[in-house]
Structure 1
Amino acid sequence: MKKVLLGMISALFVMFVVGCSQQNEDSENQTGAEEQQTITLGVTPWTSTVPPTEIAQILLEDMGYNVEQTQADAGSTYIGLSRGDIDVFMDGWFPVHDVYIEKYGDTIEETAVSYTDADAGLVVPSYMEDVNSVEDLVGMEDQFNNELYGIEEGASVTGIIDDLIEGYGLDMEQVNSSEGGMLAQAMRKLENGEPVVFYGWRPHTMFNKLDIKVIEDDKGFFETATVKVITNKELQETAPDAYEFLSNWSIPLDDVEEMIVKIEEEDVPAREVAQEWIDNNQDKVNEMLGK
C-alpha cells in the first residue's frame, strides 16, 4: 500500500512540475507577443511613397517589429510624426517640406537621404514646342482655360504653386485634386492634343507613359528635390536598431521608378515588388542593416 501511495505522489509531483513548466512557457510566449513593439509608417497618396515604405516594412518586420501603415496627406503625416502617432515617413521632399521641419523640428528629424536629383515642377506636353519655361505661359493663359492642375490641397507644394502663379503674374487658377484625379484630367487633354499644364515630379510613371516635359522655372520656386527619411525623435531611444537601419537607408531613384512602373503599370503587388528588390540587392540591404 505504501508503494502504491508513493507512486501516486510521485506521479502527481511530475504532473505538477510539467504543468508549471508549460504554464511558464505559455506565459513567456504571451508576454513576448504583448511586448512586440509596433512601428507606424506614414503613407501619403503619392506613388513615390509606396516602394520605399513596403521595403522598410518588410525589413522592420524581419527585425521583429510589428509594422502598421497610416494613410494621410502630407500635412497630416507630419502632424502625426510630431505627435508620435506616426514613427517614420519614407518620402519627405526637400526643400518643399522644409516648412514642416521648421514647424515641428522639436519632435521630428531628417534621419537619412533616400535619393537626390528628383526633378519637380510644372509640366506640359512635348508637342507644346513654344512652351519651355514658366515665362512662356504669360499671355497665353486662356489656351489652358486659365487653369493649372495640382495635387491635394494639403500638400505643401500647393502653396508653392500659388506663389509661383503670383510671382510670374499668371492669370491662372490652381485646380487641386488627388494625384490620380490630376493625372486623369491631364491625360484627357493630352489625348485630344490640347494645351495643359500640371504639376509633375520624378520618380513617377507619368514620365514613362506620357510625352511630357518639365518647363524651366527661372524664378526658382521649384528646385531639384532631395528625398529623405523623416522620423519622430523618440524612435532613436525606443527602437535604436530600427533607427540605426533607417539612418543608413538609401535607394537609387531609378530603382524606385522601376518599382512604381511594376506596381502601377504591370499590376504586381507592392509587397512582391519590394521583396524582389530586397532579394536582388542583398548587399545593399546588409549594409543598411549594419551586417
Structure 2
Amino acid sequence: MTTSLLSYRIRAASLALLAGAGLTAGAVQADDQDKGTVKLSYVEWASAVASTNVMKAVLEQAGYNVETSSLSAAVMWQSVASGDTDAFLAGWLPTTHEDYNEKLGDQVDDLGANLDGTKLGLVVPSYVEADSISDLNEYADDFDGQIVGIDPGAGIMRLSENVVDEYDLDLNLQSGSGATMTAALKSAIANEESIAVTGWTPHWMFARWDLKYLDDPKNVYGGAEHINTVARQGLEDDMPEAYAILNAFEWTADDMGEVMLMQEEGNDPYKAAKQWVDEHPDMVNEWLEG
C-alpha cells in the first residue's frame, strides 16, 4: 500500500469516527485552522483589565491567538489609529477620552458601547463629612491637602485638574496609578481617615467599601458615560469574524464587577476572566455568533 493511500484511509477513518461523535469535517478544519493573531491594547484600570481579558478568552475560544499590550490611554488610542494594535475595549466617551477622540476619531472604527452607565468623580468614604466638591476647602486639613489620583495620562486626571481650578480648591492633585490609589484608600479606611480619590464606576472598590461620590454642582465631570469598543480601520476586512465578535461584545456593570472582584481578590486576571467566560456560555455564544 502506498503512503498516500494509507494516509487517505487513515483520514477517512478519522472522519467517520468524528461523524459518529456528532462532529464534521468542517469542525475539524476550524480547530486546525490558524486564524491569526488579534492584538488588544488596554490601560491598567480594573475595568479595562477585566474586559480585555474576557475578550482574550472569547477570541481564543473562537480560534484566534491573542496578544495584549498595557499602554497609557493616549498611546492606546494612537496604537489602534496607526494599526499597531487591532482594538481596545476601554474608550470612555463622550467626556473622559474626548481629547483622544477629537484627534484620532476619524482614524479608527468606533464599534459603539460595550457597557453603559459609567460615572466619574471624586470619591470619599461614606463617613467623611463633606458631601460636595464645594465642601473640600472647609475640610482641606482632614484630607492632608491632597486628592489621590491615578496615572497622569488618564482622562479623569485631566478632568480632575479642571475640578481643582473650577472650584478653586486648596488641595493638590497627586498622580500615581490605579493600584496606588486603591492602596491609599484601603489604608485610610482601615484608620478611619478622610481621603478623596479620583473614582469611577464600574470599579470593584464600590463592592468592597462603603463609598460615596461628592456632588459636582458645576458638572465638571459631566454626566453618565459609556465604554466603547474601538478597532483599527481595515480589521473588518482582514479578520471579519474577530471584528464581528468585538462588535457584538456588550455586557453590564454587574457582569464586569464580578470579574473585577475576582481579580482584586488575588486571582490571575486572565484566569478570572476565563472562569467567568466558562460560567456564562449563553452570553458568550451570543458574542461568538456575532
Query: Normalized against structure 1, the TM-score is what?
Result: 0.83
Which residue is 1:51 aligned to? 50
CA displacement, residues 191-221 of structure 1 (integer Å, 9 cap, x when unaligned): 2222211111122221122222111111112
User: In the aligned structure 1, how far is the partner of 2:32 from the partner of 2:87?
Assistant: 22
What is the Cα-based RMSD across aligned positions, in Å? Answer: 2.4
Post-superposition shift, 1:19?
12
8 A Cα contact 1:151 1:178, kept in partner: yes
Q: Residues 230-249 of structure 1: matches in 2 within 5 Å?
A: 230-249=230-249
Post-superposition shift, 1:140?
3.0
User: In the aligned structure 1, how far is the partner of 2:86 from the partner of 2:235?
Assistant: 7
8 A Cα contact 1:112 1:246, kept in partner: no
Which residue is 1:3 aligned to? none
Letter in 1 for 2:51: P
Which residue is 2:114 aligned to? 114
Post-superposition shift, 1:47?
1.0
What secondary structure does 1:226 align onto?
A: strand
User: In the aligned structure 1, how far is the partner of 2:268 from the partner of 2:144?
Assistant: 38
1:62 has 2:52 as partner: no
What secondary structure does 1:64 align onto?
A: coil
8 A Cα contact 2:34 2:63, kept in partner: no
Where in structure 2 are there 5+ consecutive unaligned residues? 9-30
Which residue is 2:153 aligned to? 154
User: In the aligned structure 2, how far is the partner of 1:60 from the partner of 1:233?
Assistant: 19
User: In the aligned structure 2, how far is the partner of 1:88 from the partner of 1:244?
Assistant: 12
8 A Cα contact 2:43 2:73, kept in partner: yes
What secondary structure does 2:215 align onto?
A: coil
Q: Which structure has the greater CA radius of gyration?
A: 1
Q: Residues 143-182 of structure 1: matches in 2 within 5 Å?
A: 143-182=142-181
Q: Greater CA deviation, 208-217 or 161-170?
A: 208-217
Q: Residues 271-286 of structure 1: matches in 2 within 5 Å?
A: 271-286=270-285
Percent of aligned pairs with the same amino acid: 30
Letter in 2 for 1:225: E
User: In the aligned structure 2, how far is the partner of 1:178 from the partner of 1:66?
Assistant: 29
Which residue is 2:11 aligned to? none
What secondary structure does 1:140 align onto?
A: helix
What secondary structure does 2:106 align onto?
A: coil
Post-superposition shift, 1:82?
1.3
Letter in 2 for 1:276: Q
Where in structure 1 are there 5+ consecutive unaligned residues? 1-10, 22-31
User: In the aligned structure 1, how far is the partner of 2:288 from the partner of 2:5?
Assistant: 40
Which residue is 1:132 aligned to? 131
Which residue is 1:27 aligned to? none
What secondary structure does 1:61 align onto?
A: helix
Which residue is 2:15 aligned to? none
Q: Tell me how many residue pairs correspond in the alignment.
A: 266
Query: Normalized against structure 2, the TM-score is what?
Result: 0.84
8 A Cα contact 1:112 1:250, kept in partner: no
8 A Cα contact 2:157 2:198, kept in partner: no
Post-superposition shift, 1:45?
0.8
User: In the aligned structure 1, how far is the partner of 2:64 from the partner of 2:91?
Assistant: 23
Q: Greater CA deviation, 154-163 or 90-99?
A: 90-99
Which residue is 1:204 aligned to? 203
Post-superposition shift, 1:174?
0.6
